[in-house]
Amino acid sequence: MMNIVTEIETWRVIRGQFGQRTVGLVHTMGNLHAGHMSLCQRSKQENDLTVAAIFINPTQFNQASDFEKYPRTLEQDRLLLESHGVDYLLLFGADKLYPDHFQVQITETEISKVLEGEYRPGHFTGMLTIVLKFLNIVQPTRSYYGEKDFQQLLLIRKMAQALFLPVEIIGCPTVRADDEVALSSRNNRLTPEQREMARHFPRLLQSGLETSQIAEKLKALGFKVDYIADLWQRRLGAVWLDDVRLIDNIPNN
């Protein structure tokens, strides 16, 4: 039976009862899919207890419409987490997590300025701030993040190291659908025609072509391209299909 906790102080009492048991955290914005579940499975393999958090963080959306459109599927998510043996689900409200109204913020000045940081100003400040809050509240032994959001993973690792957080940040491989498209909550907004087109994105990233050639081919297919870039031993890209933005990356061997 999964326990649901909605108050931070209640959680702190529960957390204090764990003793030496290890705790894994899977921190999400909900609308869960197999990618999230792979993080939960990894946590269950490596820890005594697994904690999932669902919070749609308003401070990391640089467009209000994107925040409003984000899919909210809490009951479906709850059942999915329970079926995967997650021990605790944390559901904290924005008023509890931002009592300061976001006056205190966590910023990074290098990695956060390029790629996603350039196209989504303020996004990483909101992301790092909420991740630090959850790491402080949950006090996990390990915390799990997907490599699909590779720049995010780098930033969380950097923050944990810079602030001497007693947690191991674990990156987990991107989970893909049969057509190679990286699983993402945003995929739910794709029409069947857009979904058919979306498969060209990972295939071109993996094609071995130069970044400029990939960008040109994507544009010719009808994508709007934010960037295709080689950084951090990865090939990373962000594209639009009408009003749906997709990101992906692959190891750059």
The DSSP-derived string for 134-149 is HHHHH--SEEEEEGGG
Q: Are 123 and 116 in contact (CB under 8 A)?
A: yes
Q: Are 188 and 73 in contact (CB under 8 A)?
A: no
For tokens 């021990």, name the residue: 87
Residue 36 annotated as catalytic: yes
> What tokens were used for 43?
């946590």
From 36, 84, 123, 200, active-site residue: 36
The DSSP-derived string for 123-134 is HHHHHHHHHHHH
> What tokens were used for 76?
């479906």
Cα–Cα dist 214/239, whole Å? 11
> What tokens were used for 50?
């697994």
Q: What sign does the dihedral 238-240-246-248 (CA atoms) show? A: negative
**DSSP summary character for residue 179:** T
Residues marked active site are found at: 36
